[in-house]
Amino acid sequence: MNTLHIAENILKYRHGKRITQEEVARYLGVTKASVSKWENAQSIPDVMLLPQLAAFFGVTVDELLGYESQLTDNQIDIIVAELTAGFANGDIKDTFVLANAYIRNHYSCHKFLVRMSALFIANYNRLETKEEQTNILEQIRKMCKTVLSESVVQNERRTALSVKCMADLLIGKPSYVVDTLSPLCDADGMLYPDTDLLIQAYQDLGKSEEANAFAQVCMFTNLMNQVSTSIGYLTVNLSKADVAKETIGRTAEIIKLYNLSALNPDLTARFFLVAALFYASVNNATETLRFLDLYAGSVDELFYKGVTFSGDGYFNKIDKWINENLKAHNPRSARLDPEDVIGVLDNPAFEFLNTTPEIKTVRSRIERAIAQLNSKNTSIEIKI
């Protein structure tokens, strides 16, 4: 993999140009015998001749030597497999020495540096002394910094950032992790895939309140994203009964478990309505009515609270984040028309329920919520 192929390449490039050994020798000011020895691997050109020889053939010096600084994915896999076996079954120090030899030869290959950084952080603690471990962690940080400063490949940068933050924590620099990761949280408070690293950094700095608040925000937004995605997934799988039922069952359990109808009634109302439409499409009156009743409950909650998100007894540290971030980053809104809310019950899909007392109960429940809203003379906005 790292073998130079200068002899084969001189012969290959000379034949490609259809020139003789004498012509090469004259150009470089050497003897024909010297060129013959180069091509037969009996000797190699003087290092000062390499740029001239490469220019004569119209190639780079690396191409002339047959040296490839950029490894293929398969070559990297082979090296990683060799080193992994060495860490598992061989001498740990010798394996690190071998790994560093590979790194020196291919330091400009960023995807290789990323793989080596990850491999090192998985095995640094096998070294015997604290000093040896620290040296490896510092090397990891250096390699990751190189990738972050030079690579333009997003996946390489993302992995390098994660591994560097791990090394920062292990070396006792949690403030570096906070300074690096906290600005990268998106509008929903998400930091994929490094959420746990930032939480750990806050803990290491003794900032338990920040750790708890950030963890709660991540959990809350993950749940909202899960339900929102489930609505989309359910919509595109309405014709697949097994998939739809499984999606409805799992999502409904999440909503119930985390009391999401109280935390985000807008979102749960939309989910329950889609679930009701599915069960109506398969003429399951019982389940259709159950989800329409849940829809009415979310609407009632929504009309009572508006779309003001807030925490509860479990999510008791997210209100500040909601006020500072969620509202500011959700500028799109639409007026919630009470007539539209109750109008969904007139959907032809629910026509087969019109004579049941249960649908009348659902309608009455929504009408009461609307009357309560009108009595407050309150305008409600719903996130879309």
Reported as a single tens digit per residue, the pLDDT across 265-283 is 889 999 999 999 999 999 9
**Given this model, what pLDDT does residue 329 score?**
44
**Given this model, what pLDDT does residue 162 score?**
94
Average pLDDT of the chain to the nearest whole number: 87
Whether the pLDDT of residue 1 is over 50: the answer is: no
Closest listed residue to residue 194, CA positions, set 206, 182, 205, 208: 182
pLDDT tens for 256-269 read 999 999 888 889 99
The burial of 1, by beta-carbon neighbours within 10 Å (0-12 exposed, 13-18 middle, 19 or more buried), is given as exposed
49 token code pair: 């001749």
Q: Out of 3.30.365.10, 1.10.260.40, 2.60.120.620, 3.30.930.10, which CATH number does the structure's domain 6-65 have? A: 1.10.260.40
> Are residues 12 and 70 in contact, defined by beta-carbon separation less than 8 angstroms?
no
Give the mean pLDDT of 25-45: 92
Q: How would you classify the pairing of strands 381-383 and 333-335?
A: antiparallel
The model carries a pTM of: 0.70
**Given this model, what pLDDT does residue 337 score?**
67
Q: Out of 1.10.8, 1.20.120, 1.25.40, 3.90.320, which CATH number does the structure's domain 73-172 have? A: 1.25.40
Q: Which of 115-119, 209-213, 380-384 has the lowest mean pLDDT?
A: 380-384
Give the mean pLDDT of 107-115: 94
> Are residues 281 and 352 in contact, defined by beta-carbon separation less than 8 angstroms?
no
